């Protein structure tokens, strides 16, 4: 789930990152969905597309780490997958709120 392991990102650069999750508890799944809405937009039921610079990347990583530390029952998996460079165009309008 480490966002920085495969890509070095400069402060001025925003990169697209897919966040895919499988959470069995409804309440936790909804909580994660609300958290991710602050960083991107849903593209499928359990997949978000987030445009992150280095600062937002570290913030998201911290929040995901905190989320996973909370005791829970059932199955949970969160994957952060950087998109291929140049595969997507950055959004025209800033739509990300935290």
pTM assigned to the model: 0.74
Between CA 14 and CA 57 the distance in angstroms is 9
Residue 61 lies in a domain: yes
Residue 77 lies in a domain: yes
Residue 31 lies in a domain: yes
Query: pLDDT confidence of 85, banded at 50, 70, 90?
Result: low
Which residue segment(s) compose the domain that 31 sits in? 15-82
Residue of 36, 38, 90 lying closest to 64 (CA atoms)? 36
User: What does the pLDDT read at residue 35?
Assistant: 96
DSSP string, 63-88: HHHHHHHS---S-EEEEEEEPPTTSS
Residue 39 lies in a domain: yes
User: What does the pLDDT read at residue 96?
Assistant: 46
Residue 62 lies in a domain: yes
CA dihedral 95, 68, 53, 45 (to 10 degrees): -40
pLDDT at 67 > cutoff 90: yes
Q: Which two tokens stand for residue 21?
A: 């999750």
Which residue shows structure tokens 């994957």?
79
| Count of structural domains within the chain | 1
Residue 10 lies in a domain: no
pLDDT digits (tens, 9 = 90+) for 69-82: 999 888 899 999 98
């Amino acid at each position: 789930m480490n966002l920085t392991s495969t890509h070095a990102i400069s402060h001025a650069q925003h990169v697209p990152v897919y966040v895919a999750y499988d959470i069995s508890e409804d309440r936790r799944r909804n909580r994660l969905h609300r958290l991710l809405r602050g960083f991107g937009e849903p593209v499928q039921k359990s997949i978000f597309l987030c445009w992150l610079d280095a600062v937002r990347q570290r913030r998201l990583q911290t929040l995901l780490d905190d989320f996973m530390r909370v005791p829970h029952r059932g199955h949970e998996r969160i994957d952060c997958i950087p998109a291929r460079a140049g595969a997507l165009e950055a959004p025209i309008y800033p739509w990300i709120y935290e």
